[in-house]
Amino acid sequence: KNQVEQSPQSLIILEGKNCTLQCNYTVSPFSNLRWYKQDTGRGPVSLTIMTFSENTKSNGRYTATLDADTKQSSLHITASQLSDSASYICVVSPDNYGQNFVFGPGTRLSVLP
CA–CA distance, 11 with 109 (Å, rounded to integer): 5
Q: Does 66 bind another protein (CB under 8 A)?
A: no
Task: Report the amino acid identity of residue 1.
Answer: K
Please report, as residue ranges, which positions from 72 to 111 form the binding site for another protein (by CB under 8 A). Answer: 89, 91, 93, 96-99, 101-106
| Burial class of residue 33, CB neighbours in 10 A (0-12, 13-18, 19+) | buried
Which member of 22, 32, 74, 78 binds another protein (CB under 8 A)? 32
Q: Does 49 bind another protein (CB under 8 A)?
A: yes
Q: Does 58 bind another protein (CB under 8 A)?
A: no
Q: Which is nearer to another protein, 14 or 40 (CB)?
A: 40
Pairing mode, strands 56-59 and 32-38: unpaired
